Amino acid sequence: MPVQQLVCHQRRTDFAPLMVCLLLLDFIFPISYSFSVSTRLFHFHQLKALEACSNKRRRGRGAFLFPAAYTRSPRKTVASAMQLRLANSSSNNTGVDIASAMRESSFPGAGAPRPDLPPEDIPSLLMEALVNNDFPTVDAGLNSVWEFATDTMRFIFKNNRTDFIVSAHETADKFPTSFYGAAMRGKSWKLESPLNRVGGEDGWIATQVMQTISSDGRLRRWQWELRKKRQPPGRGNWFVESVGSSDRKGQFEPD
């Protein structure tokens, strides 16, 4: 029953003891502070519930979409970024080479979806952008992730790009085996197989499996799901619908 209905059904005689209690509370313990504490506790439990939901989603489909939210911590330095790229260059099928690592400061970034960008190039391009997140500008990698994301993630963050970026940094720092932790802080990554376009060359859904090694040495596999927009805006461009995470054994949960 709504609060308004509950109040309307109270008997008049109930208000006298209520007023006495309120006056006592106001004398002993300010009501404004009491409400402030209650509000903070309510918001705290809301955040914890959202974090639990986020962690659950991160373990299954949509890990790309739901990073945890809180404060942002310092980002990696240029030196650590170069070390990570050099480590990645030893993995097969990463598309990363030592020469490009030495030219890190000139990394052009992933940009945004465009008609001439095939779906086969998107997973590697975005991983490269996240490894070099602050090139060519601060958070350029995460901004590209936002540009390539479908409306699902934008809805979750209420179309607030800043909230997404802060959340992604927090996830990368707190959860080594999360998507952002593996991409931005991990040791290496590689593509396991060629991209699978559902329905052949004319299909508008594509999938690809990637493998990562986190900063603490744990393996995770990721299934990228890409979709080609069939209506404007962005008609004909490929976007990332989700990146689903495997379990600790590298197995994917059935849909």
Query: Over the chain, what is the mean pLDDT?
Result: 73
Q: For 92-101, b where at least 16 C-beta lie within 10 A, e where not — what string?
A: eebbbeeeeb
Is residue 4's pLDDT more than 60?
Answer: no
pLDDT at 92: 46
Question: Where does a domain end: 29, 59, 89?
Answer: 59
Residue of 57, 208, 214 whose CA lies nearest to 126: 208
What are the structure tokens assigned to 112, written together?
A: 């945004």
Which band of pLDDT confidence, cut at 50, 70 and 90, is reported for residue 105? low
Number of domains comprising the chain: 2
DSSP code per residue over 190-216:
EE-S--EEETGGG-SEEEEEEEEE-TT
Q: Choose from 30-39, 56-65, 93-102, 192-201 the range with maximum mean pLDDT.
A: 192-201
Do the domain assignments include residue 250? no
Instruction: Assess whether 52 and 83 both reside in one domain.
Output: no
Task: Give the range of the structural domain holding residue 100, as residue numbers without chain letter.
Answer: 78-245
More confident residue, 62 or 204: 204
Do the domain assignments include residue 253? no
DSSP 121: G
Instruction: Assess whether 112 and 208 both reside in one domain.
Output: yes
CA–CA gap between residue 157 and residue 154 (Å, rounded): 5
Is residue 89's pLDDT more than 70?
Answer: no
Do the domain assignments include residue 69? no
Q: What is the CATH number of the domain that holds 196?
A: 3.10.450
Question: Where does a domain end: 15, 31, 59?
Answer: 59
Instruction: Assess whether 33 and 157 both reside in one domain.
Output: no
Instruction: Assess whether 224 and 102 both reside in one domain.
Output: yes
Instruction: Assess whether 126 and 235 both reside in one domain.
Output: yes
CA–CA gap between residue 113 and residue 144 (Å, rounded): 9
Instruction: Assess whether 91 and 47 both reside in one domain.
Output: no
Instruction: Assess whether 129 and 222 both reside in one domain.
Output: yes
Is residue 68's pLDDT more than 90?
Answer: no
Instruction: Assess whether 235 and 138 both reside in one domain.
Output: yes
Is residue 157's pLDDT more than 60?
Answer: yes
Is residue 127's pLDDT more than 90?
Answer: yes
Instruction: Assess whether 101 and 163 both reside in one domain.
Output: yes
Do the Cβ atoms of 119 and 238 come closer than 8 Å? yes
Is residue 77's pLDDT more than 70?
Answer: no
Instruction: Assess whether 234 and 199 both reside in one domain.
Output: yes
Is residue 14's pLDDT more than 70?
Answer: no
Instruction: Assess whether 32 and 94 both reside in one domain.
Output: no
Instruction: Assess whether 210 and 147 both reside in one domain.
Output: yes
